[in-house]
A and B are shown apart, each in its own frame.
Chain A
Amino acid sequence: MSPGERRVLGKQRSEGHAVDSCLVGKKKIIQSVGDSMVEAYLPMNYSDDYIITGVRQGDKRCASVLMSLIEDESDRAEACLRRLRTVAGTSYVLGITGWPGVGKSTVISKIARSFLGESKNVGIIAIDPTSPFSGGSLLGDRERMKEIDGDERLFIRSAATRGHTGGICYATRGFIAVMEAMGKEIIILETVGVGQNQVSVIQVADTIVLVLIPGMGDYLQSLKAGVLEIGDIYAVNKSDREGTSQTIADLECLISLNCHENEWKPAIVRTIGTTGCGIEDLMEAVRQHRQYLCEHNLILSKRETQIKSEIMEIIKSRIINRITRTAFLNGTIDKYVSDVCAGSIDTYEVADEILRQSGILKLDR
């Protein structure tokens, strides 16, 4: 072991910091595991070049490391993603959403198996909520996908929302970019069923399947804005239960109220996720929607809308990062807060002042 390597290992052990990312290539480290000394390739030593080459070759380890960098919002992630960008539209993104407990993961497991049967390369991103109190999360969607977990052509990644609102995590776009670069033809996105506020799922998926179970809420519920309007396909799961026909009737009513003439008419399918019943119908509906999008040249325009909102998100995030570095971290915000409470300044003036100080606002408003 060279002195350089020994120093690196020592630093990691004592300080727990990630190693400087300018190491080139994979660095072999010798570390002790139990009684023996073992060679280990520490993922934190992977260089950007190594990660990008690996992802393009479909290497799961490199993809997984990059996804963690993206989740942690590291600067390296941005650098890698910029180099990885493929032409928009290489993968097909299927969004599966719905309330907790309706059977999304079970249905996804069957859908993925069907795609794998068609020899497609599949990626699954399963999102679960982060507790706002503890900051931790229980990522349990994967447990329901046991029957397909283990197929080489399948990559499943769980992710926690980490405080991003709207039911979808900040890193999802990055994950999709990585999976596209890996060569995944189909990406299935399972989102947190937080109820009404699911609209941000539209921003990343081409086809959205809303999974429901019979007897959920009454007819009036279905008219509220938000989640129920975004389905391209409605899957009534656990359809062996009572109340299925009524739920389907309610959905048909909702669709006829909302449907405009030249648009896609949302399809309704009955499924039983645990047995696989109705999954073929669901796959057929997905195929038809995809065909509809292709025929009407809608895939590219969807991507364009997504790109626009991604640009806006990056702008917002850059502005927030810039401001929190200046005002909040310096503690100046506390002074402003006391002045507002004392009545000597109002919150709008404070906001303008902070924006001016950070260099974002040059002129007086």
Chain B
Amino acid sequence: MTMTKKKIILAKVGLDGHDNGIRIVSKWLMDGGYEVVYTGLYNTPERVLQIALEENADAIGVSFLGGEHVAYARRFVTLLKEKEMAHLKLIIGGVIPPVDVAELNRIGVHAVFTPGTRRDALLSKLKETVC
């Protein structure tokens, strides 16, 4: 009788210690009815995927503030294919210049959230992407 819930892994990778944004998004998603596995700081893409596998997640959300989003996006997409997890939705947010959004989508990112995205917009786009 329980409804299926969507599970999302939220992570920060690399050495960037700014987690304020991702903590706020965690709260938004929790209020939006998602089950959020918050993995905190200093992860590697390999670790994030391992967590996504054990948790049987539906999506992975990664936050970038330091300009490394394109490089990591490529790495994530490659790893997802290698590990036969390409059905997971990859979502990227943070300080992403709007000009990079098309490139990220081309690489295989399913949704990109740029600075100033409001809560309702994020939740509705996420629902489209994940559900």
A residues adjacent to B (C-beta < 8 A): 16, 31, 33-36, 38-43, 60-61, 64-65, 67-68, 71-73, 130-131, 134-140, 142-143, 146, 149-150, 155-158, 160, 162-163, 170, 320-321, 324
Tell me how many residue pairs across A and B have CB atoms closer than 8 Å. 111
Size of the B side of the interface (Cβ < 8 Å), in residues, is 41
Q: Bound state CA distance, A140 and B33, in angstroms?
A: 16
B30, B33, B47, B105: the one within 8 Å of A150 (CB): B47
Check A68/B56 contact, CB under 8 A, given A73-B1, A136-B35, A138-B27.
yes
A-B contact list, 9 entries, CB within 8 Å: A33-B80, A43-B87, A68-B56, A73-B2, A135-B33, A136-B32, A136-B33, A139-B35, A157-B54
Docked pose: A146 CA to B38 CA in angstroms: 12
| B84 close to A (CB within 8 Å) | yes
Q: Does B124 contact A (CB under 8 A)?
A: no
Min CB distance, A339 to chain B, in Å?
A: 26
The interface bits of chain B over 22-60 (1 if a CB of A lies within 8 angstroms of the residue's CB, else 0) are 000011011111111111101000010011011110000
Contact B1 A324 (CB under 8 A): yes
Q: Which residue of B lies closest to A35 (CB)?
A: B106
Q: Is B107 an interface residue when CB atoms closer than 8 A count as contact?
A: yes
A34-B106, A135-B5 are contacts. A155–B33 as well, Cβ < 8 Å? no
Chain A residues whose CB sits within 8 angstroms of the CB of B106 once the complex forms: 34-35
Bound complex: CA A139 to CA B3 (Å): 18
What residues on B are CB-neighbors of A321 within 8 Å?
Answer: 1
Complexed CA–CA distance, A39 and B131 (Å): 21
Q: Using a CB–CB distance below 8 Å, which chain B residues touch chain A?
A: 1-5, 7, 26-27, 29-40, 42, 47, 50-51, 53-56, 77, 80-81, 84-87, 105-109, 131
Given the known interface contacts A40-B86, A135-B33, the answer about A157 and B55 at a Cβ–Cβ threshold of 8 Å is: yes
A36 contact set on B, CB distance < 8 A: 108
The residue in chain A whose Cβ has the minimal distance to the Cβ of B74 is A34
Are A134 and B31 in contact, with the CB atoms below 8 A?
Answer: yes
Q: State in angstroms the CA–CA spacing of A73 and B3 once bound together.
A: 9
Contact B30 A33 (CB under 8 A): no
Cβ of A16 and Cβ of B131 under 8 Å apart? yes
A36 CA to B38 CA in the complex, in Å? 30
Given contacts A34-B105, A71-B2, A162-B2, contact A139 B38 (CB under 8 A): yes
Supposing A73-B2, A134-B33, A321-B1 touch, asked if A64 and B38 sit within 8 A by C-beta, the answer is no
Give the nearest-CB partner of B105 in chain A: A34
User: B29 to chain A: which residues have CB within 8 Å?
Assistant: 136
A35-B108, A136-B5 known; 4 other A-B pairs, CB under 8 Å?
A136-B33, A139-B37, A142-B37, A163-B2
Given contacts A135-B33, A160-B35, is CB(A33)–CB(B108) below 8 Å? yes
- Taking the closest CB of chain B, its distance from the CB of A361, in whole angstroms, is 21
